[in-house]
Structure 1
């Protein structure tokens, strides 16, 4: 295959990855208009956001392996079709159940595309070109995650929330045509018989669903005791005094054990497996996944807190918030070319550690300058550095994780790596969200205690309103002279909470940097596995 065709195909693979990654963040901006136009509850709105991540994370491993067995391009293209069809359904949805169901199907399509995109790159590029291709893939993920709020803000403000979904249709069509024309089919053959590992697929999907559900919903439902009188879960009501979260974690752990036993039993019999557990005997794969998971704890946590701060403290619109976050995307894209060249000269491990270090520095700098009066341009340099770090670390760490994985097991390796990152990101958002809102409530309560004009009950009501609205009620407080001082206190408290959130994210990144020390030079082969 010619060089021009390889890189042309990579362009459409990256476009497909951009589409599914943007969809994680673009909906966050559209949700307020969805609530208003469809008259849905806040609980339903939360599921509109969460169901995509839940289904997406649960099926990455399954579809990564299916790509090995049935063709990576085939699964990728089918995923684009599923994603486009689900986007049409979401754009035409007239009720919460319709929209939630469409978002779940989008998650299926996204899970078909992400691991197969990586395994197609792993199979189609060799040597120095592989590092550059991974750089494009990694920068696409980092950059488009930050572009989601900008695109979502523009579409919902200029047109309608429905365009946040409808925009996927022409993109998916381009991905479909470009991939079929330029990307060759590839698949793995491990020489085993025994058909598709359906039991492994079922147990892994259910285990990941339970774990990711617990991580996403822990703050909403309570980590142990149920918050409120009952909890609505996809239309069902949980009325026990204990939160459903511990039950979800317990079920997830049990199912994970069953999955491991199923895989070992099938492997001993020479049958096809969803995940060959012997891959974890490869040091670069095992330690690389560990590092990727830890880094993911803090990598995108800032994108959870900063939009809330920009809109509710600084008073920016959704579109203005997207513009303020644009330096992060620019930094990520700018790092792609630089990272590939540096990786060829100094090796991928140097680039991984440099990238994590830049992320750490950028996050810490954001936390240091955030205040109720900080303008957007004071944060831009730190966001650019942070984005450059994401672009460097994501791409090269992916290369390290897959360096010694045979191409025949590329889907398994890609699916495992993607799943590790998703679980790490979900855990990071759960922890950082808890830090943000716990700190916000405690700090605001202390600040309001000094305002003698407020009764204890009045102060408690303001704290509850600010926490439950994630700061959105601050603007209403500011509009009334009687609560203007409380609004100022809330802005200061949310700024302090954002600082603590950034500090926690930086701590996770520091742990990831320390973990990367286990990735010694001997774990990265000098040449491709399949050439040895």
Structure 2
């Protein structure tokens, strides 16, 4: 018995490494982009797809692979995902062109989508009672901490070695994960049969792919009219109406078709991609709503703060990563707190404490941000925010899955992970719009007050906003535009402040959404 217990905890280490691999890769590439542009000569459109191809594929496949893991084996799905992730990382590290790098990132998204719900469902099937709370605390803190460690690791590898190592470093870790999982994790799978739901899987991919694409790319291509032409391969979107409304319409149609198909298939006694009766479990239903809303505001700071640190305060990628390390430290400290209080304090209470700390931390960041800010004050604010992320992410996951039958762990995990990804994409869309729209408006007003001609004003505003602040350094180097650079720094700072306060507002809504989590389900509504 003692040997089995030790194996479970060693298994948790390797599961956490797998989660770390997924999360780090979603953030590490952001600081490596300038070096990739210099070496491969990729266009701005290719830059966008290098950053977002991974997220788009990852989010669209989570539900499908979560369900398939239940059927074919959760450990098996995790191992296949790690191997695909490692091989695609190797291709990315050796990519001779932007198109090859984008293709590798797309395949990485497939591997990541196999891995994440499998890690969560393995924890749900392996741990029980107080141990379960500790395991989820470690899992959640790994997500929060690695989101901050990614930029640090990427900055160090890119600065001291090459951007290619930002992908190459995944390979040795993948080898360790595969060996460790084989030695410590037992296989688990669903025992029920009923056939594969191929149509449901296809509809879910269309649904979440179109939805996440629309949310992420709305600011780039225009929410209604086309602001920038969409090019995919040799095909160019030439219509006056933006592709974004079409993406949302496609997602809505796919959602309707998916629900009709799943209900019909369930009534016929066939296997379904998503067991809709899971939503009769109040903790699962309400927890997914809360997870989506909280995710909307949770990582907004990772979007805006690195831009402000580099383009306003003049930090390099490594220095930016070191500042964000305070968030990771706070998140890992939270795992110890959550483990110590597991079984003594209710998970819902810990979720609320965590969200409260997030609100305090991100609001403090908003108060600190200014063109002449003393960056040292960011460290305690980020530490508090990181503690909140570590507490809320882990325990909210546990609350969502607490009443889900073990045989449906993959479906439950995939649904929970998808809710978070949709919330994150919505957060990127809303908080990104707040950041850049407010920056453009404030900078335009300052240039008007300075008497800058309208044509020149529009050109400067577009340069600053389109480069996400990168053009400020060029303005500052020219004595004739140094004053304009100061105005741009002030505008970007104010946009960052408003983005932080908006994220705090969404987190407050998420805190209110947790009220429903205090209501236990009626036993008659249980699945199975």
Instruction: Tell me the TM-score normalised to structure 1 length.
Output: 0.97
Q: Is the 8 A contact 1:61 1:419 kept in 2?
A: yes
- 1:33 correspondence with 2:35: yes
Tell me which residue corresponds to 2:96: 94
1:139 CA displacement: 0.2
Hey, what's the Cα distance between the residues in 2 that align with 1:111 and 1:225? 32
Tell me which residue corresponds to 2:264: 265
Q: In angstroms, what is the RMSD of aligned CA positions?
A: 1.4
Q: Per-residue CA shift, 1:426-455, capped at 9, x if unaligned?
A: 000100000000000000011111223x33
Tell me which residue corresponds to 1:491: 489
Tell me which residue corresponds to 1:141: 143
Within 5 Å, give how 1:256-335 maps onto structure 2. Answer: 256-335=255-334
- 1:249 correspondence with 2:248: yes
Q: Is the 8 A contact 2:66 2:117 kept in 1?
A: yes
Q: Which ranges in structure 1 are unaligned for 5 or more consecutive residues? A: none
1:236 CA displacement: 2.5
Q: Which ranges in structure 2 are unaligned for 5 or more consecutive residues? A: none
Hey, what's the Cα distance between the residues in 1 that align with 2:478 and 2:234? 37
Tell me which residue corresponds to 1:129: 131
- 1:84 correspondence with 2:86: yes
Q: Is the 8 A contact 1:343 1:351 kept in 2?
A: no
3-state SS of the aligned residue for 1:179? Answer: helix
Tell me which residue corresponds to 1:504: 502
Q: Per-residue CA shift, 1:94-139, capped at 9, x if unaligned?
A: 1111111100000000000000000000000011000000000000
Tell me which residue corresponds to 1:224: 224
1:375 CA displacement: 2.6
Q: When the two structures are aligned, how many residues end up with a matched partner?
A: 524
Hey, what's the Cα distance between the residues in 1 that align with 2:179 and 2:45? 38
3-state SS of the aligned residue for 2:100? Answer: helix
3-state SS of the aligned residue for 1:447? Answer: helix
Hey, what's the Cα distance between the residues in 2 that align with 1:521 and 1:350? 13
Hey, what's the Cα distance between the residues in 2 that align with 1:513 and 1:43? 37
- 1:55 correspondence with 2:54: no
Tell me which residue corresponds to 1:412: 411
Instruction: Tell me the TM-score normalised to structure 2 length.
Output: 0.98
Hey, what's the Cα distance between the residues in 2 that align with 1:513 and 1:234? 43
1:397 CA displacement: 0.3
Q: Is the 8 A contact 2:282 2:519 kept in 1?
A: no
1:456 CA displacement: 2.5
- 1:470 correspondence with 2:472: no
Q: Per-residue CA shift, 1:193-220, capped at 9, x if unaligned?
A: 2x21111111101111100110111000
Q: Per-residue CA shift, 1:356-401, capped at 9, x if unaligned?
A: 0000111111001110111321111110000000000000000000
Hey, what's the Cα distance between the residues in 2 that align with 1:232 and 1:518? 44
| Residues 104/210 of structure 1: CA separation in 2 closer, same or farther (3 Å cut) | same
Tell me which residue corresponds to 1:423: 422
Hey, what's the Cα distance between the residues in 2 that align with 1:154 and 1:101? 25
Tell me which residue corresponds to 1:4: 6
Runs of 4+ in 1 over 3 A off after TM superposition: none
Hey, what's the Cα distance between the residues in 2 that align with 1:523 and 1:42? 50
Hey, what's the Cα distance between the residues in 2 that align with 1:7 and 1:444? 53
1:249 CA displacement: 0.5
